[in-house]
Amino acid sequence: MAKEKCPDCPECMPEWLAAFGDLMSLLLCFFVLLLSMSSMDAKKVSEAIGSLSGAMSVLEGGTKTEISKMRIQESTPIEKQNESSQTVNRVSQAIIDANEMMQKGHGPTISVEEAEEGFVINLPSSLLFKIGSAKIENEDALLFLKRIALIIEELPNEMDITVKGYTDNTAPGKNSPYKDNWELSSARAISVLKELIDDGVKPNRINAAGYAEYSPMATNATAEGREQNRRVEISFYGKKTAKSDSIKKNILDKAAVSK
């Protein structure tokens, strides 16, 4: 008996065609993702279409549209990190740590505020000195100043530092070695200045001044107000340019001539 012939197998899709189809599907998904992540500029699209139309004379209105030569291509500006803001953040963290160590959340605290050309650290005198004294005896305050000195070392040379001493309207007292508030406020500012210099701050970048009771933050009529007025401020600000100095000199020269 003759063997039956095996039926022919149905023809299937070639393997290369299946692979090719998968590749096209992946490419389509890739371009869809690119399109979804891109930002469409209507003006740029219009100009691109007009350029193709003018070159190929296929799309309607192609001969009437051309790329504007007067159009200014604006590049996306590179965002630069603000060094001043970063420094303020580091100082703020140092202040938080110092306040937790010194007062445990009670009593006067160190603070920082941004100014027009920099920032200012406000140190209550009660955290640094005893009444009528200009000697820093608080170890936590000394550690805080060391930390500030490290931050100052990383600041650009264009940044100047001024230590300012202030008092209330009460006299230093009989037991104080200082005759008046001028001497006391100046001595306290110099004491903080010297501590910062000992911690590594260059002397040519820092200076000190005393203002006695003549620049109060609050009223001297209350104990709370007087406590706010007894303070030392560390001011950070940019150096004035030579151009601004020359302008001031010109103004002074004009004033002298007019006299």
Task: Report pLDDT for 20.
Answer: 83
Rounded distance, CA 114 to CA 238, Å?
Answer: 13
- The pLDDT > 70 percentage for the chain reads 68
DSSP string covering 167-230:
--SS---TTSS-SSHHHHHHHHHHHHHHHHHHTT--GGGEEEEE-TTSS-SS-TTSHHHHHHHS
Helix, strand or coil, per DSSP, at residue 148: helix
What pTM does this model have? 0.61
Report d(CA 132, CA 184) in Å as an integer.
Answer: 7
| Average pLDDT of the residues in 148-161 | 89
What is the predicted pLDDT for the residue at 80?
Answer: 44
Nearest to 91 by CA among 22, 147, 173: 147
Under the banding of pLDDT at 50, 70 and 90, the label for residue 48 is low
Tokens of 79: 């965002």
- Say if residues 235 and 122 touch (Cβ distance below 8 Å): no
pLDDT (mean) for 48-61? 59
pLDDT recorded at residue 224: 93
- Mean pLDDT, range 17-46, rounded to an integer: 77
Q: Are 87 and 76 in contact (CB under 8 A)?
A: no
- pLDDT greater at residue 77 or residue 143: 143
Determine which helix (DSSP H) or strand (DSSP E) holds 101, and give its type and residue range. Answer: helix 83-102
- Give ∠ CA 222-209-235 in degrees, rounded to 5: 80
State mean pLDDT over 75-97.
69
Best CA proximity match to 227, nearest among 124, 141, 127, 122: 124
Q: Is the pLDDT of residue 79 over 50?
A: no
| 235/120 Cα distance (integer angstroms) | 4
Host H or E run for residue 124: strand 118-124
Mean pLDDT score across all residues of the chain: 79
The gap between the terminal CA atoms of the chain, to the nearest Å, is 139
Assess whether pLDDT exceeds 60 at residue 58. no
Question: What pLDDT is recorded for position 255?
Answer: 55
Average pLDDT, integer, range 44-63: 59
Q: What is the rounded radius of gyration, in angstroms, for the C-alpha atoms of the chain?
A: 36
Element containing residue 19 per DSSP (H, E): helix 15-37
For 12, 91, 213, 247, the CA distances from 113, given in Å and listed in that order, are 77, 10, 21, 30
Q: 56 versus 215: which is more confidently predicted?
A: 215
pLDDT of residue 243: 47
CA–CA separation, 23 and 245 (whole Å): 69
In CATH, what number does 83-244 get? 3.30.1330.60
Q: Which pLDDT band, with edges at 50, 70 and 90, does 221 fall under?
A: very high
Return d(Cα 125, Cα 108) in angstroms, integer. Answer: 9
Residue 233: pLDDT band (50, 70, 90) is very high
